[in-house]
Amino acid sequence: MNNIGEECCNFAFGIKFEYIMARKKKPLPLLEGIEITGVAAEGKALARVPLREDDDSKIVIFIPFGAPGDVADVQLDRKKHSFAEGHIVNLITPSPERIEARCRHFGLCGGCKWQHLPYEAQLRFKQQQVTDALERIAKVELPEISPILGSEDVWRYRNKMEYTFSCKKWRSWEDIKSGKEFNDSPNALGFHIPGAFDKVLHIDECFLQSELGDRIRNGLFSFADREGLSFYDIRQNSGLLRSVMFRILTTGEVMVCIQFGENDPEGIRKVMDYLKTEFPEITSLLYVINLKANDTIGDQEVISWAGPDFVEERMGDLRFRINAKSFYQTNSRQAERLYEVTRRLAGLDTFSVDEKKPLVYDLYTGTGTIANYVASGARQVIGIEYVEAAIEDARLNSQVNGIDNTLFYAGDMKDILTDEFVERHGRPEVMIIDPPRAGMHEDVIKVIMNAEPDRIVYVSCNPATQARDLALLDSKYRVTAVQPVDMFPHTHHVENVVRLDRR
């Protein structure tokens, strides 16, 4: 077996054997010489095999870390009536498109599941994912779909990363069955193994964020391990060091926020003084003491140790202030391209006379990044978002940039966006929609239809739910432009922007 085949089998067999094959169930068959023919919507590869030798019907098998063109032996892990799931145990003939993954943690940490595919192939599969969703789910008349806008940076593109401390480093099945003694530290700082909440893979290098992130993370791990500071035990909800979050922005500003699982002033002081002294690049050094069973910090106090409690990112001529709890697109440069597409498709880059500028509603506005970005082309932008803290950020960012034509409301979308709300604030000529992955509630769609904006720009991170919503809007709106945008290289995720014009 070649190196790529060995790599594929090692992680696939190692994880699946430990978590699936150990179950006391009737073993499912090993399928030999299966050809992988495509990529499914959630990033897994797929193959179609006959149900029986005397039957023309086929069952679809979803296979992680496969590539179209692979020929492999596949062990089934789960079988339903119409589909099955499996993993590669022997890669017989690698796909011509398969490449060697750059990261040695590939296949274990749970991220970057398409590293074994060249970026050009990733973009092709994402384009096809958008096309398939709109054609097969929406089933509406479509214009020609524009070619996907690839990310200029395919490595080190993320401005935010989060890592977990653990007192029990995860060991691969190959390490365990080798019988060798482990003389290294039992502690870890890295990512959770997929499907295992209490298992953390130690990471010494990650190609998603700036090298500075690697230096700070590795330095912090070595210091804490050397000083004998306690790493978190998720089962016991104990241990000083719980997690760390980095924001490294294109402006050069750097935020580090440590989450502590115990209120130990001396231990906290050691960690924070170390970071402040050893890494002067950090402009905002923060910490949280979180004694809860879960690690969300939305309801926790964030304490500033050094510097302000925020960092600022630039997008075009605007500055966006980001705190430890803020949401901000993790690919800064590509986010600007996404919002520029949104502004262009909304027609907001063509207005120069105030009287001609439209009223814009920005639904699911988040921290108001889109609302503030398009405000110069609007008479007024009204943003609505469920999270109150996000709306506070949106208002702050309007203030920071001297924008006075935005208005923000916090609350459940279906409760705020009512016919009475539209009557009170005016019928929008343009409506921008950027909902969560689940898409829009039917009540929201009804109000949109009643409001009858001249144009809708629908931004989505899930083409499948976007397509479902487009079908519901089809009686009044026709799709006039489709522009996919890749925000997350080496993953299957894709953003898609659709313009709809009133019939």
Catalytic residues: 461
H or E stretch at 282: none
Place of tokens 């503030």: 372
Q: How far is CA 432 from CA 401, 415, 495, in A?
A: 21, 18, 15
Separation of alpha carbons 448 and 442, rounded Å: 10
Quick check: 271 and 244 in contact, CB under 8 A? no
CA dihedral 56, 62, 66, 67 (to 10 degrees): 60
Nearest to 121 by CA among 63, 73, 69, 85: 69
Separation of alpha carbons 496 and 155, rounded Å: 21
Work out the number of other CB atoms within 10 angstroms of the CB of residue 357: 20
Dihedral sign of CA atoms 338, 339, 345, 351 in order: negative
Residues constituting the chain: 503
CB-based burial label for 110 (10 Å; 0-12, 13-18, 19+):
middle
Coil, strand or helix at 273: helix
Separation of alpha carbons 274 and 250, rounded Å: 25
CA angle 33, 38, 39 (to 5 degrees): 120
Place of tokens 């080190």: 156
Separation of alpha carbons 283 and 348, rounded Å: 35
Separation of alpha carbons 37 and 187, rounded Å: 41
